[in-house]
């Protein structure tokens, strides 16, 4: 038998919700306008899985497919690029709206601004996004990856001209390493999507950058005449993506928000641990954080996101690796008539969770608590494609991590 999915309904005390304005519609609109100035920009698809919805007993099921984002196979570049833009704008005393891609890649900009070095830690996707943006804007980047990182993800970052290493420590220690090096480098700045005391501005910009994806999804739902989703499922590592998505939709539907469900890898379920404790205090998970969901293998929560999540999320879910593997296979081989979605290990966990909740009575209590039924309009986010192609094939074609 597979190890069960664990879950905790949100019974944490609410706060004054001071971080929700980070994801205001105005802030997200500015980020989206910045991204739209890039020639590589296009709106990524929202796959409508009508057949799967019927199979699972839902009214609708849509999944945002980020495998098409800027040709980088993952959503993360949205955060890193906007944070770089905001940092440069602040350094130059300019408004971000005046800094288009065309200007940022011009000789005039290079002469006026010079060059900074952007440091970051990553499992792969965030670092690739930072390296890509730095490369395009004529800046430098240094990327540290935790032990166990895949060679293909390392190679993709190196191709963008970054100085990249795989360290013998976990993700959270790589973050500390990047921050220390940035501090000791002239024009060095750390671009990390986790926030801690004293490091909150850049993570908030990264979250706003992620808001472009949520904003696109909201527009696409309107085009499909679905409008407001009743349930939004979003995965979390440090929680920046989850805080961005939850914050955006909480602002968009202020008086009638969707139910929000946050999912983590069991090996790094710091948000779930905090929710299960129920006191509102963040928890940290330590150790090697071994999971196929490399993008979610982060053991210390972003404090900005944590405040948003504990005020707005309905349930926190801790997922063993088989859940993601199941989701990958379901999306790759969908119900006849539905589009296939190439979704990697960190991208497909939502599909694995919603199918398990709807089809396995072991999760009947959660299904009923969340009021998931034939009237539910569910939104998921596939945050990456096959960013580790060998692992993707082993799971989808080879049947690794079976559902038994």
Torsion of CA 146, 124, 207, 237, to 10 degrees: -50
Residue 203, pLDDT score: 95
Per DSSP, 43 falls in state P
Q: Do domains 6-74+202-396 and 77-197 have the same CATH topology?
A: yes
Return the ∠ at Cα 68 (arms to 64 and 70), rounded to 5°. Answer: 120
**End-to-end distance of the chain based on CA atoms, in angstroms?**
6
Residue 388, pLDDT score: 93
Domain ranges of the chain: 6-74+202-396, 77-197
Q: Which tops the pLDDT comparison, 240 or 124?
A: 240
DSSP-assigned letters across all residues of 212-280:
HHHHHHHHHHHHTT--S-SEEEEE-SSSHHHHHHHHHHHHHTSSSPPEEEEEEEGGG-HHHHHHHH-SS
- pLDDT per residue over 112-129, tens digit each? 999 999 999 998 889 999
4 touches 309 (CB < 8 A):
no
In CATH, the number for domain 77-197 is 3.40.50.1100
Q: Which residues are catalytic?
A: 76, 123
Residue 135, pLDDT score: 94
- pLDDT per residue over 165-224, tens digit each? 999 999 999 999 999 999 999 999 999 988 888 999 999 999 999 999 999 999 999 999
Burial class of residue 186, CB neighbours in 10 A (0-12, 13-18, 19+): exposed
Tokens 């790759």: give the residue.
Answer: 332
In CATH, the number for domain 6-74+202-396 is 3.40.50.1100
pTM of the model: 0.96
Name the average pLDDT for the chain.
Answer: 96
Residue 224, pLDDT score: 96
The rounded percent of the chain whose pLDDT value lies above 90 is 93
Q: Is the pLDDT of residue 390 over 90?
A: yes
Residue 326, pLDDT score: 98
Residue 288, pLDDT score: 84
Q: Is the pLDDT of residue 375 over 90?
A: yes
- pLDDT per residue over 140-164, tens digit each? 999 999 998 989 999 999 999 999 9
Q: Is the pLDDT of residue 402 over 90?
A: yes
Torsion of CA 312, 211, 115, 187, to 10 degrees: 0
Residue 156, pLDDT score: 93
| pLDDT confidence band for 297 (50 / 70 / 90) | confident
Both tokens of 73, joined, read 């196979």
- pLDDT per residue over 336-356, tens digit each? 999 999 999 999 999 999 999
């Amino acid at each position: 038998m597979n190890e069960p999915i664990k879950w905790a309904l949100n019974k944490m005390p609410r706060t004054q919700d001071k971080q929700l304005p980070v994801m205001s519609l105005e802030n997200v609109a500015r980020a989206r306008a910045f991204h739209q100035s890039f020639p590589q920009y296009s709106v990524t698809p929202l796959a409508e899985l009508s057949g799967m919805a019927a199979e699972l007993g839902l009214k609708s099921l849509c999944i945002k497919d980020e495998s098409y984002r800027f040709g980088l196979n993952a959503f993360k570049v949205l955060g890193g690029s906007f944070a770089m833009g905001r940092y440069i704008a602040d350094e130059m005393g300019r408004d971000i709206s005046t800094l288009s891609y065309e200007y940022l890649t011009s000789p005039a900009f290079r002469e006026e601004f010079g060059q900074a070095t952007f440091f970051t830690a990553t499992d792969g996707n965030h670092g690739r996004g930072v390296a890509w943006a730095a490369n395009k804007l004529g800046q430098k980047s240094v990327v540290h990856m935790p032990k166990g990182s895949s060679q293909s993800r390392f190679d993709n970052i190196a191709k963008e001209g970054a100085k990249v290493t795989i360290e013998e420590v976990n993700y959270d220690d790589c973050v500390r390493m990047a921050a220390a090096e940035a501090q000791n480098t002239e024009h060095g700045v750390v671009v990390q999507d986790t926030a801690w005391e004293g490091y909150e501005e850049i993570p908030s910009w990264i979250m706003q950058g992620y808001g472009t994806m949520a904003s696109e999804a909201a527009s696409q739902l309107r085009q499909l005449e679905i409008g407001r989703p009743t349930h939004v499922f979003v995965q979390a590592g440090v929680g920046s993506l989850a805080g961005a998505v939850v914050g955006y939709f909480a602002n968009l539907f202020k008086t009638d928000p969707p139910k929000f469900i946050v999912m983590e890898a069991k090996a790094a379920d710091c948000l779930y641990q905090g929710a299960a404790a129920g006191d509102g205090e963040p928890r940290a998970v330590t150790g090697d954080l071994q999971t196929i969901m490399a993008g979610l293998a982060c053991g210390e929560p972003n404090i900005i996101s944590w405040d948003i999540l504990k005020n707005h999320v309905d349930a926190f879910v801790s997922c063993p690796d088989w859940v993601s593997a199941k989701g990958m296979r379901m999306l790759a081989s969908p119900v006849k008539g539905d589009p296939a979605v190439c979704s990697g290990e960190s991208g497909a966990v939502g599909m694995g969770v919603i199918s398990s909740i709807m089809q396995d009575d072991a999760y009947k209590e959660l299904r009923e608590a969340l009021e998931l039924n034939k009237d539910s309009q569910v939104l998921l986010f596939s945050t990456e494609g096959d960013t580790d192609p060998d692992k993707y094939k082993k799971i989808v074609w080879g049947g690794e991590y079976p559902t038994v």
